[in-house]
Chains A and B, each alone.
Chain A
Amino acid sequence: MRAGSREVAESCLDGITMEMVATYCDRLHSSKPDLAARRIEAIGFQVGQQLAERYTRDRPRFTDHLEVIKFICKDFWAEVFKKQIDNLKTNHRGVFVLQDTRFRWLTRISVDSPLTPSEANNTTLAAAQAGGKYLYFPCGLIRGALTNLGVPCAVSAEIAALPACSFIIRIKV
């Protein structure tokens, strides 16, 4: 951290990201989940653009797409989530999968424990659905950063088991 930079408690950030989801998904656009998702994604997009500008300030320009993706996995992730991406996969044709085994913004989320063994399967499904809403913002964040760095792309997310999740980046050619 730079000397003199202003900081915010992490619990405040956790609070605001969760409240944002609640406001858009449950209150403003409760009947239109797609619209709510787009709105939250757009907020993330702008924040991602701003962060990309800030975090790349003192580094030389990137030469290709892979370098930009690596920057997202290492430095960008470290700045935002205080850890690096755990696993990066690619098909070398423009699709990258970023796996985070302990995604920071999902660590505070839990679902009700199953009452019967038959409900156990539903719980994982419910976890994926409930957690999915909280990934619109980080998806927008990644897309904003990549777009600003000259990599137009689409980003989606999947939850396998909380708090692990993966982001799928598809670069538009």
Chain B
Amino acid sequence: MILCVAIVGQQNNPLYLQSFAGGDDVLKFHYIVHCSLDVFDEKASILRRTGTNLNDNFLGLLYPAEDYKVYGYMTNTRVKFVLVTSDLELKDLDIKTFFQRFHAAYIDVTSNPFHVPGKRIASPMFRDRVKTIVSSFGQL
């Protein structure tokens, strides 16, 4: 089950966080996402050194913990997407597809002329779309 998805901006500023775990643990997820940012930097710089063809947007598993796993995806514009899941057996391809759809939704919401770049995303339509993407995860 997907516990939480989040978007972090270029300056590591939180842009969006949505929890699916139920209950009041948004703060915990903010903490998890914040912890993953160092791994983002590390992975991106390693990939840059080792070669160009490995510079994929999908960064794979960032770090595992006892009861959840954190996956990451970084775009060309250094916007970071984070997925926290409680499933321990997941196919990389599924996660990659999920991130691509999530990214597409993000592109559409930021193309709104009333959206201010670098500000938190508050669009209810975006929230619904993310919900749909999350609920259809793994069923493709």
Contact = CB atoms under 8 A, between A and B. Distances in A.
Contact-residue size bin, chain B (C-beta under 8 Å from the other chain) = 20 to 34
B76 interface: yes
Interface stretch (B19-27, B102-110, B131-139): B102-110
Given A46-B117, A59-B76, A61-B76, A54 B55 contact: no
Contacts of B117: 46, 49-50
A63 B77 contact: no
A52 B52 contact: no
Majority DSSP secondary structure for residues of A touching B: loop
A148 B55 contact: no
Interface in A36-57: 46, 49-50, 52-54, 56-57
Contact of A62 (B76, B100, B107): B76
Contacts of B44: 61
A149 B113 CA distance: 19
B110 A149 contact: no
Interface residues on A, range: 10 to 19
Contacts of A46: 113, 117
Contact of A53 (B53, B74, B107): B107
A114 interface: no
13 contacts: A46-B113, A53-B79, A53-B110, A54-B111, A60-B55, A60-B56, A61-B44, A61-B55, A61-B56, A61-B74, A61-B76, A62-B55, A148-B77
Interface of A: 46, 49-50, 52-54, 56-57, 59-63, 148-150
Interface of B: 10, 44, 47-48, 52-53, 55-57, 74-79, 100, 103-104, 106-107, 110-111, 113, 117
